[in-house]
Amino acid sequence: GCGDGIGSVFLGKFAKQVTGVDYDEELIENNRKEYKDIPNIDFKKLNLLNVSSHKATYDAVVSMDVIEHFNEEEGRKLAANYAKLTNEGGFALIGTPNIASRQYASENRLKNHLHEFNPDELQSLLSNYFKRVFLFSMTDEVVSTSFSKMAWYLMALCVK
């Protein structure tokens, strides 16, 4: 779910190679054109619900604001596929809004987020596919290990 690719560009400043993936072919083509002069960034079309034909795996998988756009069953499949895409010893960083903040959500969020997680649910789901899951919370752009049940946003660092 790289969307317009800006997160891939950001990560490219710190990583040797970045591959942004999205299911939207038009977005991928636009990103390829827009960022063609950045040598360590590549964009590929990928259906995150079916990664069986995708042969590459990665040291790090970053997925911010993606999993909540899928229903609960698809979210389980997504979590399993994040693990399949992650090299042994690698990690995944998965971020999603906390369902506790939903009461303050915009109409767009309410319409487009099919399943949001509470901290325990996210931790439990990801623990099925990764050896270790470290859950962080974020409120007002501060990441911490504080009381996640009241945080606006959840971030999980998952080690395979």
pTM: 0.92
Sheet holding 132-139, edge to edge: 58-64, 86-97, 153-159, 132-139, 142-144
Q: What percent of the chain has pLDDT over 90?
A: 88
Q: How deeply is 158 buried, as exposed, middle or buried, from its count of CB atoms within 10 A (0-12, 13-18, 19+)?
A: buried
Per-residue pLDDT tens over the stretch 121-157: 999 999 999 999 999 998 877 787 777 888 889 999 9
Q: Running DSSP on this structure, what letter comes out for residue 25? A: H
List the one residue out of 140, 65, 141, 76 whose CA is nearest residue 108. Answer: 65
Helix-helix angle 72-85:119-127, to 10 degrees:
50
